[in-house]
């Protein structure tokens, strides 16, 4: 039976609406290589393979590359994008094709120089009961790519990834095997080696700042007779066997995951607070709790929790630069880092903070406002003290969730509503809404508030907030709202959401687009790139290539 005119009209209407809405929820943009970048975290080093111009390392959080020409270690954000998994057990550079092969828990993937992304080998082509952890080594030869699973050798085609044969007979030709953790049984004797910086050697392990220690996972000699040690903390040590001196090298974000990001010109700071993510305060670990990436020179710097007694807590909720100091809002006060001298300071109850847990920091004029569970404190940086008897006095049961400064005013989202402070107003703080806002963002035209897991908006000349027409998915929990230009960005439990304020069109970015996890803790949009912090890692997206 042919469709009725009403059915035809309904079908055409639905198609028109789909075309009209464009790449909204359920549809995805067409991306060019390099528009998504994955920034690996420091992960245990599992294998190494030598290419024509450098070394490829697999880690438990992606690939790392050492360039012989520039003598620099890089996390290869573009190459790491598109990996089927970032938990890698092997990497192999194939000299016959100049391609890369990686092994992960569920399978194998490869990327040829002509490929724009990684290609996965079908599970039907893998040995029975395949497990990436069971692979001992991977090698390239004239015949193809060899996978050694504890004496069972599987051969794959170098160009197509197709299965060729499997058996217990070892390869007859020359195979360029990688060096892996799986084939590394005895820790090396490190006596006689001398390290530079904060690290030292002791028998079979490396000792670092504070009580940090790390064990070698593999040892490798490159074509220039340089010795490389990979470790379980993701730290590399490279040395000359003649001078017996080792140089520590690190690259990537520490710790993982992170919930806080601060863009400081060409530098990006990363930190985490497990209590904020999971609601459980773990035992304090003596490890790196803060890292910074200088994008201009592709250099990383790490800060240990044992560097100073001023570091009372490693759970960082917010980061703010004040002059040459970095202010870290932690669960036990404000930690200060002088970025020129690397000296530390601390602000706590003795400085007048009404509560030790500081959730948010915001600059307003010449002062810093600190949000705590018991109210808001104004701090004068020059004195490093709280301004007495001039704070928002809330009862202990009312919590302060967030702060946002527009320049003219500063706003606070609390359990009791949204408050506004203007230093020229006679009454100081005043409540402008009863919405219990957990996140705020504003520009000259509109203010947005997230309350009751919904987005609310107030115009410049309006008194009250109203429900914003475009919302996130009903099942998504909204964790944060930010804005840039005509768009607002949401960090949610089901992806990152971008909404055009002009026509209310909504775009959701999830795993199909490039997120390593759909649980997004924070978003930081700039004019060109947007940073997205997820449960399984950090990515950035060149959204200016698709939106004005």
Would you say residue 212 has pLDDT above 90? no
Please write the tens of the pLDDT for every residue from 78-126: 899 999 999 999 999 999 999 999 999 999 999 999 998 999 998 888 8
540 is a domain residue: no
Distance CA 110, CA 92 (A): 9
Compute and round to an integer the Cα radius of gyration of the chain. Answer: 27
Q: Which residues, in sequence order, are bridge partners of residue 183?
A: none
270 and 150 within one domain: no
* Cα–Cα distances in angstroms (integers) from residue 214 to residues 9, 246, 344, in the given order: 68, 14, 25
Q: pLDDT, tens digit, for every residue of 310-328?
A: 888 889 999 999 999 999 9
User: How far is the C-alpha of 355 from the C-alpha of 375, rounded, in Å?
Assistant: 8
In this structure, the answer to whether residues 110 and 200 fall within a common structural domain is: no
Residues 244, 304 within the same domain? no
Q: Tell whether 275 and 421 lie within a shared domain.
A: yes
Which backbone phi and psi does 491 adopt, to 5 degrees?
-95, 120
Q: Which of 132, 153, 180 is the last residue of a domain?
A: 180
Residue 426: predicted pLDDT: 59
pLDDT for 18 equals 31
Portion of the chain with pLDDT greater than 90, in percent = 68
The Cα–Cα gap between 497 and 545 comes to 17
pTM over 0.85: yes
C-beta separation of 347 from 336 below 8 A: yes
Residue 305 — pLDDT band, cuts 50, 70, 90?
confident
User: Is the same domain home to 236 and 273?
Assistant: no
Residue 309 and residue 455 share a domain = yes
13 lies in some domain: no
According to the model, what pLDDT value does residue 93 have? 98
The CATH number linked to 97 is: 2.130.10.10
Banded pLDDT at 211 (limits 50, 70, 90): confident
Determine the structural domain holding residue 434 and report its residue range.
Answer: 260-474
Domain stop point among 443, 474, 505: 474
Contact present, 156 and 125 (Cβ < 8 Å): yes
Does 83 share its domain with 169? Answer: yes
- Decide which of 127 and 133 is more confident: 133
pLDDT at 74 over 60: yes
Whether 383 maps to a domain, the answer reads: yes
Spatial separation of the C-alpha atoms in residues 412 and 375, rounded to whole Å? 10
* 435 part of a folded domain: yes
CA 124 to mean position of chain CA atoms: 33
CA distances from 51 to 87, 138, 354, 497 (A): 21, 14, 57, 40
Residue 266 and residue 245 in one domain: no
Reported as a single tens digit per residue, the pLDDT across 503-513 is 999 999 999 89
Domain presence at residue 448: yes
Residues 287 and 209 placed together within one structural domain of the fold: no
Which of 474, 499, 524 finishes a domain?
Answer: 474
**What is the Cβ-side half-sphere exposure of residue 43, based on CA atoms within 13 angstroms?**
22
Number of domains in the chain: 3
Q: What is the pLDDT of residue 4?
A: 44
Close Cβ partners of 267 (under 8 Å, ≥ 6 residues apart): 292, 293, 294, 295
Lowest mean pLDDT among 12-21, 68-77, 417-426, 515-524: 12-21
* CA angle centred on 27, ends 21 and 30, rounded to 5°: 105
Within a domain: residue 293? Answer: yes
Does residue 312 sit in the same domain as residue 399? Answer: yes
Same domain, 350 and 280: yes
What's residue 3's pLDDT? 40
Residues 101 and 137 in one domain: yes
What does the pLDDT read at residue 300?
93
Q: Which pLDDT value is given to residue 112?
A: 96
């Amino acid at each position: 039976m042919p469709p009725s005119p009403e059915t035809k009209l309904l079908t055409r209407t639905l198609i028109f609406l789909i075309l009209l809405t464009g790449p909204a929820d359920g549809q995805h943009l067409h991306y060019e290589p390099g528009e998504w970048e994955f920034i690996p975290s420091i992960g245990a080093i599992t294998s190494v393979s030598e290419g024509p111009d450098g070394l490829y390392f697999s880690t438990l959080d992606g690939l790392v590359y050492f360039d012989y020409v520039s003598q620099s270690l890089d996390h290869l954000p573009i190459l790491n994008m598109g990996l089927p998994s970032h938990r890698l057990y092997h990497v192999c550079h194939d000299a016959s094709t100049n391609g890369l092969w990686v092994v992960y828990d569920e399978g194998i993937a490869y990327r040829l120089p002509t490929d724009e992304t990684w290609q996965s080998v079908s599970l039907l082509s893998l040995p029975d009961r395949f497990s990436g952890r069971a692979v001992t080594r991977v090698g390239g030869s004239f015949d193809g790519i060899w996978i050694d699973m504890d004496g069972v050798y599987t051969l794959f085609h170098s160009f197509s990834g197709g299965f060729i044969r499997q058996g217990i007979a070892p390869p007859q030709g020359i195979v360029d095997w990688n060096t892996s953790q799986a084939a590394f049984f005895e820790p090396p004797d490190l006596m006689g080696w001398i390290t530079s910086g904060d690290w030292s050697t002791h028998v079979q392990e490396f000792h670092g700042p504070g009580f940090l220690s790390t064990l070698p996972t593999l040892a490798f000699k490159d074509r220039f007779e340089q010795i490389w040690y990979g470790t379980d903390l993701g730290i590399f040590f490279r040395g000359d066997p003649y001078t017996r001196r080792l140089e520590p090298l690190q690259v990537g974000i520490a710790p993982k995951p992170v919930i806080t990001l601060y863009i400081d010109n060409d530098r990006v700071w990363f930190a985490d607070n497990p209590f904020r993510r999971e609601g459980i305060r773990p035992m304090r670990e003596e490890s790196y709790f803060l890292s910074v990436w200088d994008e201009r020179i592709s250099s990383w710097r790490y800060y240990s929790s044992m560097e100073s007694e001023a570091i009372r807590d490693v759970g960082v909720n917010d980061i703010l630069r004040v002059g040459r100091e970095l202010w870290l809002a932690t669960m036990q006060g404000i930690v200060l880092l002088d970025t020129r001298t690397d000296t530390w300071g601390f602000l706590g109850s003795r400085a007048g903070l009404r509560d030790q847990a500081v959730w948010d920091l915001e600059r307003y004029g010449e002062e810093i406002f600190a949000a705590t569970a018991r109210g808001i404190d104004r701090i004068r940086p020059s004195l490093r003290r709280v301004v007495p008897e001039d704070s928002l006095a809330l009862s202990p049961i009312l919590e302060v969730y967030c702060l946002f400064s527009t320049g003219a005013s500063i706003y606070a989202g609390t359990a009791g509503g949204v408050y506004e402070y203007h230093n020229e107003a006679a009454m100081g703080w005043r409540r402008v809404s009863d919405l219990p806002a957990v996140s705020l963002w504003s520009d000259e035209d509109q203010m947005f508030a997230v309350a009751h897991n919904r987005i609310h908006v107030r115009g410049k000349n309006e008194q009250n907030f109203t429900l914003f027409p475009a919302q996130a998915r009903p099942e998504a929990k909204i964790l944060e709202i930010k804005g840039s230009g005509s768009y607002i960005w949401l960090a949610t439990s089901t992806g990152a959401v971008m909404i055009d304020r002009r026509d209310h069109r909504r775009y959701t970015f999830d795993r199909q687009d490039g997120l390593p996890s759909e649980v997004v803790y924070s978003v930081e949009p700039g004019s060109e790139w947007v940073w997205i912090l997820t449960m399984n890692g950090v990515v950035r997206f060149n959204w200016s290539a698709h939106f004005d």
